[in-house]
A and B are shown apart, each in its own frame.
Chain A
Amino acid sequence: MAIGGLIAGLFGSLLGLGGGVLIIPMLTLVFGIPMKEAVGTSLICVIATSSGAASLYVKKHMADIRLGMTLELATTIGAIVGGLVAGIIKPEVLAILFSLLLAYIAFSMTRKRAEKNLEADSSNPEDYQVNNLPLGMGASFFAGNISGLLGVGGGVIKVPTMYLLMGVPLKVAAATSNFMIGVTATAGAFVYFARGEVDLLVSGSTMIGVFLGALIGSRMLHLIKTEYMKRAFIIVLLYLSLEMLLKGLNLGFLF
């Protein structure tokens, strides 16, 4: 499990994902852990990757703490609601929703727009105005919901919201999203914790793997051509999405 966590952390940080996207399929499909426990465990792991990475971003003054804090008002409530809802719906439904999320992420990775924009992003990170705050709050609530419900960070929603709707430069949006994820995941994690759905040994070993993986990944980032890895990863995501769907429908494994 620690090794699985290591791999999830490594690839997650190389591809700019929180790791939850990989942790949940690993725990449920490979180790046969119940869906809700996997979500609880994943939330804890997401806190670990977010705190580790955010400490660097924050010190480099890339994250907008004031904006992050404001949006956290909405995202924490969203995460708690999401966690509570997860408690009452069937694990099969969660698995199907997760499968849809994976497919969506795979799809959004095929459009390379965001990455190109990151390179072309010449706007001054010190000088921008935040627009559409109410809309951003709404989207943050929704991102928190997804996070609490499915055990991911919710950056997939937060980053485009800040960048496209609120006029925040992409680098700042990515760093601020990462900064917020720690608090979002904590809010959700306590709900699972309260239901006794966070297993000590499972989360301890996965978490240390994810943390070390993210640590190594963030240092390897400049050494590796992520383009090929990204294509391979899209296929992996689609495969996992399919397996999670079959799991949700109780149809067993495809391969």
Chain B
Amino acid sequence: MNNKKDKIDVWVGNVLLVGSYAAAVLLLAGLFALLLSDQTSTARLQSKPLSFSGFFSHLKDRSPLTLLNLGILVMMLTPLLRVITAGLSFFLEKDYKYLLIASGVLIILLANIISILI
């Protein structure tokens, strides 16, 4: 049993590690790009709220904000991904009670996100 428990820990740990470092790299890149871009446009962009749709519009403008927006989204989705990872490993272990619990957490989070989008 111990062996199996170790496996979940490593998987979930890796998801968290990769997710948070990926987000940090994107944010750093975004901030550097912002510093290098001209100051007037950064002042104008200052008070933009974060959004899903903003990501695509920044992408069209080739704005450095794309990287920032993406970095924050990656960071926000990392915990979601680790709930899914834990759920999958519970499934592989046939631990259905905890699969159900993980699904519950996932449903709450997804319902929350979907209520934003509609």
**Chain A residues in contact with chain B, CB under 8 A?**
2, 44, 47-48, 50-52, 54-56, 58-59, 61, 63, 65-66, 69-70, 72-73, 76-77, 80, 126, 182-183, 185-187, 189-191, 193-194, 196-201, 203-205, 207-208, 211-212
Contact = CB atoms under 8 A, between A and B. Distances in A.
A121 B86 CA distance: 28
Interface string B82-118: 1100100000000000100110110011001101100
A187 B106 CA distance: 10
Contacts of B59: none
B94 to A, nearest CB: 14
Contacts of B108: 73, 76-77, 80, 187
B109 A183 contact: yes
Contacts of A212: 24
Interface string B23-54: 11001101100100000001001111111001
A209 B75 CA distance: 14
The 5 A-B residue pairs with the shortest CB-CB distance, nearest first, are A59-B13, A55-B16, A196-B49, A55-B17, A182-B79
B27 A58 contact: no
A182 B15 CA distance: 13
18 contacts: A44-B72, A44-B75, A47-B75, A51-B78, A59-B10, A63-B9, A69-B83, A69-B101, A72-B83, A73-B104, A190-B112, A196-B49, A198-B49, A199-B50, A200-B54, A201-B48, A203-B50, A204-B72
Contacts of B34: 201
A44 B68 contact: no
B105 A204 contact: no
B3 to A, nearest CB: 11
A205 B31 contact: yes
A204 B104 contact: no
A80 B109 CA distance: 9
Given A203-B72, A204-B71, A194 B78 contact: no
Given A51-B79, A197-B49, A80 B112 contact: yes
B14 A55 contact: yes
Given A51-B82, A203-B50, 16 more contacts: A51-B79, A52-B17, A58-B12, A58-B13, A59-B10, A66-B98, A69-B102, A73-B104, A80-B108, A186-B79, A190-B109, A191-B112, A201-B48, A204-B31, A204-B68, A207-B72
Contacts of B76: 44, 47, 186, 189-190, 193
Given A52-B20, A54-B16, A72 B105 contact: yes
Nearest to A57: B13
Contacts of B9: 58-59, 61, 63, 65
A211 B28 CA distance: 11
Nearest to B77: A186
A220 to B, nearest CB: 18
User: Looking at A47, A191, A204, which has the most chain B CB atoms within 10 Å of its CB?
Assistant: A204
Contacts of B49: 196-200
A51 B116 CA distance: 23
B78 A61 contact: no
A185 B68 CA distance: 19
A197 B23 CA distance: 20
B23 A65 contact: no
